[in-house]
Amino acid sequence: MKDGIRPEQIHRSVLLQETMDFLSLRPGGVYVDGTMGLGGHTQAILERTAPDGRVIAFEWDEQAIALSRLRLQEYTGRLVIVRRNFAEIAAGLDVLNVSKVDGILIDIGLSSLQLESGDRGFSFQRDEPLDMRMDTRRAVSAASIIATSTEAELADIFFYYGEEQQARPIAAQIVKARKEEEIRTSAQLAAIVVRAVPRRFHPKKIHMATKVFQALRIAVNAELENLSTILDDAVPLLKPGARFCVISFHSLEDRIVKIKFNKNKSLKVVTAKPVMPAAEEVGGNPRSRSARLRVAEKRG
């Protein structure tokens, strides 16, 4: 990231106004931003809960934390940043001796910082190391999954996490290709995926490798497992009447949120259907088009 570029120039927070409205923010409240990223939602919560509202922000991407500290330095007295995944919110709050909060937000999207940082292989638009770890302390990278998984395991990852209908031929092509050369970069992998599938089966609106890269990112970061964990563990942390807001970006995530919210008897679903970005927001930020917001409230 170039010197002098501010976080708000890199990433636009999705469904910002809608989320702030649903959180029912008030001064003096204690709120959790489970996915701080570049601090857009965090800053909005702090602004709307002035002068004494507090935010405990969780983030496991070290680069994002460094940038957000600069963005949010004026709120230091009301902000605590914790380097943990959102699945560890309960443990993180316990360390801080916080037992109940007035609202929780998690935004499960990939940030523009991660897509454009150029060194972790989240994007196939450039030739980057095939890493995909949001937290570089994690042992398993995308390259290691590609190198060590069996053909069947790869096919399952692409099918279940990416909903890729061509999962089997793509997995077969990867296993064939890795016998000839180690697959170390995003461009290598994208080219293999393109070769694996006849042109007539390529999607019209997205790149052929899009779902494969999505699936690998989910597998590397255990995203669906972490989401399921927080949807259970966060509920006891909410005060009666507190809101739980979740922004997801694809059908697998949204389905998990919907089912968990509906099954939990401690929650009242606030959004019968997911809230989607308005046309104006999508026009200004095309990456927001797949965002879905669901909200539940802790019963009294």
Quick check: 180 pLDDT over 70? yes
pLDDT tops 90 at residue 6: no
- Give residue 5's pLDDT band: very low, low, confident or very high (50, 70, 90): very low
Report the C-alpha gap between 219 and 169 in whole angstroms.
19
pLDDT at 31 > cutoff 60: yes
Is residue 45 pLDDT above 60, yes or no?
A: yes
Measured N-to-C along each axis, helices 251-263 and 223-233 cross at an angle, to the nearest 10 degrees, of: 20
Of 49, 107, 54, nearest to 81 by C-alpha is: 54
Mean pLDDT of 233-238: 98
Q: Is residue 54 predicted with pLDDT exceeding 90? A: yes
Of 53-62, 110-119, 141-150, minimum mean pLDDT range: 110-119
Question: Tell me, what's the pLDDT at 200?
Answer: 95
Query: In this structure, are residues 18 and 293 in contact, taking their beta carbons and an 8 Å threshold?
Result: yes
In tens, the pLDDT along 264-293 reads 999 999 999 999 999 999 999 888 999 999
Mean of pLDDT over the chain: 92
For 138-141, the CB contacts below 8 A with 24+ separation are: 138/220, 138/221, 140/220, 141/220
| Across 183-197, average pLDDT | 96
pTM for this one?
0.90
